């Protein structure tokens, strides 16, 4: 079962994320290489949140606990939903 992490962002996220973007993306790249992350990205038009698909809930929880976006107040709300995929892979 996969776990989707949903983020809600502060207004003006495109500008506010710049000092923290490298650390955020670096963590995601590492988790992807380890096979713990399937995909991740921000919503567009408007840039008001994002979704990250993890291979397990524990990986999503660990990411939230150390994500620079969360630590620096750029994420106003987050939630994790376990996802039972029935078609696709």
The token pair that represents 71 in the structure block: 């630590």
Instruction: Supply the range of the domain harboring residue 56.
Output: 2-83
Per-residue pLDDT reduced to its tens digit, 14-57: 999 999 999 999 999 999 999 999 999 999 999 999 999 999 99
Number of domains in the chain: 1
pLDDT tens readout for residues 50-77: 999 999 999 999 999 999 999 999 999 9
Q: Decide if 75 is inside a domain.
A: yes
- Whether 54 maps to a domain, the answer reads yes
User: What's the whole-model pTM score?
Assistant: 0.95
Three-class secondary structure assignment of 20-85: HHHHHHHHHHHHHHCCCEEEEEECCCCCCEEEEEECCHHHHHHHHHHCHHHHCCCEEEEEEEEECC
CATH number of the domain residue 8 falls in = 3.30.70.1060
| In a domain? residue 89 | no
């Amino acid at each position: 079962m996969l776990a989707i992490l949903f983020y809600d962002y502060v207004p003006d996220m495109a500008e506010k994320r710049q000092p923290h973007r490298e650390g955020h993306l670096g963590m995601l790249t590492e988790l992807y290489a380890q096979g713990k992350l399937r995909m991740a990205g921000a919503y567009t038009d408007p840039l008001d949140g994002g979704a990250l698909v993890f291979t397990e809930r524990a990986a999503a929880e660990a990411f939230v606990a150390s994500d620079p976006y969360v630590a620096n107040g750029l994420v106003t709300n987050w939630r994790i939903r376990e996802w039972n995929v029935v078609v696709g892979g």
